[in-house]
């Protein structure tokens, strides 16, 4: 039996199978980029304060900012085209306001839906290249922002980036924000440029207030506004919170605003007209029929019918990645699988926008009590026991352009508790083991293999 994990999956006896994210995913999300954050209105101090070494992306320090001509043909990204797309851009989008604020706190203006207008103006002559190097403070595990990488392997992740300044006017229809900020956009690729700035109490115009402790006073302690331009679509979010001081101090932080409403909760919204979206949706829809071999060596045909969700551009490393969620009807001709699964397609693209890889699978390891497993997942081709909660992983992958068809696995696992450590009878020179439990581990009980049918 193979042991997979040392932490327990969440029990969800009545829930449908979630989406896939096992430990094999290669890239860790790095989040929205903010190399230069303003601390207020135009004329206020710009976050990096002229000292580029104070700013970093993950574990990469910016050590020099070199002025460039945005129209230079040899730049790694067509910066002039991104500037042209953003300069003078004015968009009005739907927004979700205060949907994540706890009921115990009071946001003003009150939570609800609305609209936001954003205007962007390029600051002439501000195009530059950010020279970066691995931070001296980066530990071995965080050096590349990829988890488990060594400092040496972070070097490729600290390649130069292209950037430019812009004035950004933000106005919400509920009066919460009505101000102009100056910040820096960083072009991550031909498809993605990101920016962020800080809202400090008393240094922006608008009616935004937050009462944390119910005394009707404004406890707003600041926020971070993030913007992303993804292949023509502008999106953004404001996170922040409030705090009080005294004998019973209270502090909190959560999402305050997101636009467009109903858009990506992780990653960045893409326009429906994006060629990345069209390619990604076609690729996921094409993963339809597979030859499945059970652990018993019996074979059958597995078919998938996909209902695609909203595609999002992910800020993972330097590779262009698009995630497409799908609710998929999954059936085998022998009846060993007959369920509806929430899956997630992850598509990678090269600098020319050509797809290079496809992955489809679950992103969460929900576990079910043994009696509920078959009914909840539709999996009967691999039997589970009667003692331990069970879950499953499902993953397909394909390298575009190679000679092999898409392949994958369906694995059923049980969640077993790890025995508790016990305290040693007496102290030893090497120290003792503290009593306690290390959680659960997932134990493989059967794996079926899949290969796409011709």
Q: Note the pLDDT tens digit of each residue in 375-405.
A: 999 999 999 999 999 999 999 999 999 999 9
Is the pLDDT at 137 greater than 80, yes or no? no
Compute the distance between CA of residue 259 and CA of residue 148 in angstroms, rounded to an integer.
34
Closest Cα to residue 322, out of 342, 357, 348?
348
Is the pLDDT at 333 greater than 50, yes or no? yes
Backbone angles phi, psi at 152, to 5 degrees: -60, -40
pLDDT score recorded for residue 364 = 82
Compute the distance between CA of residue 109 and CA of residue 290 in angstroms, rounded to an integer.
53
DSSP code at position 69: -
Count the alpha carbons within 13 Å of 180 in the hemisphere toward its beta carbon: 7
pLDDT score recorded for residue 427 = 57
Compute the distance between CA of residue 445 and CA of residue 441 in angstroms, rounded to an integer.
13
pLDDT score recorded for residue 235 = 96
Residue pair 337/368 in contact (Cβ under 8 Å)? The answer is: no
State whether residue 108 is helix, strand or coil.
strand
Residue pair 301/291 in contact (Cβ under 8 Å)? The answer is: yes
309 pLDDT tier (thresholds 50, 70, 90): very high
State whether residue 363 is helix, strand or coil.
coil
Q: Where are the alpha helices (DSSP H) in 119-246?
A: none
Whether the bond into 260 is cis, omega within 30 of 0: yes
Chain segment 92-132, per-residue pLDDT in tens: 999 999 998 888 888 999 999 999 999 999 999 999 999 98
Rounding to the nearest 10 degrees, give the CA dihedral for residues 391, 283, 399, 330.
30
Q: Taking residues 424-444, what's their average pLDDT?
A: 65
Residue pair 96/261 in contact (Cβ under 8 Å)? The answer is: yes
Token output for 381: 């081709």
Q: Which of 172-181, 212-221, 243-252, 355-364 has the lowest mean pLDDT?
A: 243-252
Is the pLDDT at 162 greater than 80, yes or no? yes
Q: Identify which has the larger pLDDT, 215 or 426.
A: 215
Chain segment 52-73, per-residue pLDDT in tens: 233 335 578 889 999 999 999 9
For the chain, the average pLDDT equals 81
Q: Which of 249-263, 293-307, 308-322, 387-401 has the lowest mean pLDDT?
A: 249-263
State whether residue 306 is helix, strand or coil.
strand
CA distances to 7, 379, 418 from 441, in Å: 6, 21, 6
Chain segment 211-252, per-residue pLDDT in tens: 887 787 788 888 999 999 999 999 999 998 887 665 555 567
pLDDT score recorded for residue 417 = 86
428 pLDDT tier (thresholds 50, 70, 90): low
Compute the distance between CA of residue 336 and CA of residue 72 in angstroms, rounded to an integer.
58
State whether residue 453 is helix, strand or coil.
coil
Token output for 106: 């009071």
Residue pair 86/166 in contact (Cβ under 8 Å)? The answer is: yes
415 pLDDT tier (thresholds 50, 70, 90): very high
Compute the distance between CA of residue 85 and CA of residue 229 in angstroms, rounded to an integer.
9
pTM of the entire predicted model: 0.76
Closest Cα to residue 182, out of 47, 82, 87?
47
* Helix count and strand count (H, E) for the chain: 3, 23
């Amino acid at each position: 039996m193979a042991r997979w994990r040392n932490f327990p999956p969440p029990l969800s006896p009545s829930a449908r199978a979630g989406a896939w994210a096992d430990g094999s995913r290669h890239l860790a999300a790095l989040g929205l980029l903010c190399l230069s954050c303003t601390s207020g209105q135009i004329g206020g101090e710009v976050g990096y304060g002229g000292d580029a070494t104070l700013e970093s992306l993950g574990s990469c320090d910016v050590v020099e900012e070199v002025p460039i001509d945005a129209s230079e043909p040899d730049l790694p990204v067509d910066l002039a085209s991104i500037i042209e797309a953003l300069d003078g851009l004015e968009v009005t989008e739907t927004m979700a306001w205060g949907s994540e604020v706890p009921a115990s706190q009071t946001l003003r203006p009150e939570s609800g839906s609305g609209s936001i207008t954003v205007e962007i103006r390029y600051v002439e002559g501000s195009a530059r290249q950010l020279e970066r190097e691995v931070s001296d403070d980066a530990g071995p595990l965080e050096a590349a922002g990829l988890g488990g990488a060594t400092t040496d392997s972070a070097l490729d992740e600290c390649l130069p980036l292209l950037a430019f300044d812009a004035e950004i006017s933000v106005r919400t229809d509920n009066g919460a924000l009505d101000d102009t900020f100056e910040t820096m956009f960083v072009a991550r690729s031909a498809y993605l440029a990101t920016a962020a700035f800080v809202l400090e109490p008393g240094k922006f115009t608008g009616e935004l207030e937050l009462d944390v402790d119910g005394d009707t006073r404004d406890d707003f302690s600041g926020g971070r506004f993030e913007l992303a331009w993804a292949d023509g679509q502008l999106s953004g979010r404001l996170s922040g919170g409030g705090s009080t001081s005294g004998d019973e101090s209270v502090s909190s932080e959560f999402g305050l605003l997101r636009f467009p409403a109903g858009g990506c909760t992780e990653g960045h919204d893409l326009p429906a007209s994006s060629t990345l979206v069209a390619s990604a949706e076609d690729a996921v829809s094409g993963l339809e029929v597979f030859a499945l071999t059970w652990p018993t060596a019996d074979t059958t045909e597995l078919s998938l019918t996909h209902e695609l969700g909203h595609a999002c551009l992910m800020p993972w490393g330097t590779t262009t990645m698009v995630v497409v969620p799908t609710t998929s009807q999954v059936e085998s001709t022998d009846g060993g699988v007959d369920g509806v699964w929430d899956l997630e397609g992850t598509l990678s693209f090269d600098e020319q926008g050509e797809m290079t890889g496809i992955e489809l699978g679950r992103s969460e390891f929900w576990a079910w009590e043994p009696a509920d497993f078959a009914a909840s997942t539709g999996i009967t081709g691999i039997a589970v026991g009667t003692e331990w909660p069970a879950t499953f992983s499902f993953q397909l992958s394909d390298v575009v352009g190679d000679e092999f068809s898409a392949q994958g696995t369906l694995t059923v696992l049980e969640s077993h508790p790890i025995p508790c450590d016990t305290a040693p009878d007496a102290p030893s020179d090497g120290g003792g083991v503290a009593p306690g439990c290390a959680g659960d581990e997932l134990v493989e009980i059967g794996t079926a293999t899949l290969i796409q049918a011709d």
